[in-house]
Amino acid sequence: MDSDDIKRYRVKFKYAEPVRLNGILGELLEELDGKSFPEALLQTFIEAYRKASPYVYVNPSGLEKIIADTKSSELYELCKQRNALGIEQFTHLFAAGMPDPELEGKLAAELYKIFKGDPHSMVKPFRRVIIRAMEINGGTISLELLEQIYLELADSIPVREYEFNETPLGDTPTPADFNAKFIDGIDLNAEKSFRDEINSIIIKIKDRL
């Protein structure tokens, strides 16, 4: 992106209506095509975002990219004040090394909530995204929680495995019975895989610490 492009977007951010902020950011990110957000536009964007109402939508993934590329604590704190980032963005920023002493604890709490929640929840697969971020930058908080989750899985999986193997379908099983048994088997294998992945990450964190 050359100096003329920088000037063009600086004017756009500075004078555009707040409701157009998200659209302009989207145009810029598309034009960048994966390249880093220009430092020369950072302050202009922050001022435009600060001037906009907290209720003006700006794509959280776009905000995450700017913060990850620039490590701007000013924009990060503003986004936190406005609840503009979701757990997915916080996880990616943690993996990217965002210097926030509260972030690891926030992710640990979210991971345990997902782990103890509805086993069929739509957010359950996201727990793997969190533990992989912990694998990259996790410290003592991550290690403590992962060890606890591993112990709980080490206790619960043998029980589930025994129940799965020893519970018959019955004399006249229905298609629904077969389907339920199939899903239980998938869930059990997923838990085993999750346990093994956690164990591997625990080892890596210990090595790093």
pLDDT per position as a tens digit, 82-107: 999 999 999 999 999 999 999 999 99
Provide the pLDDT for residue 45. 97
The pLDDT tens digits for 132-165 are: 999 999 999 999 999 999 999 999 999 999 988 8
Is the pTM value of this prediction over 0.75?
A: yes
Rounded to 5°, the CA angle 25-29-32 comes to 140
Provide the pLDDT for residue 171. 67
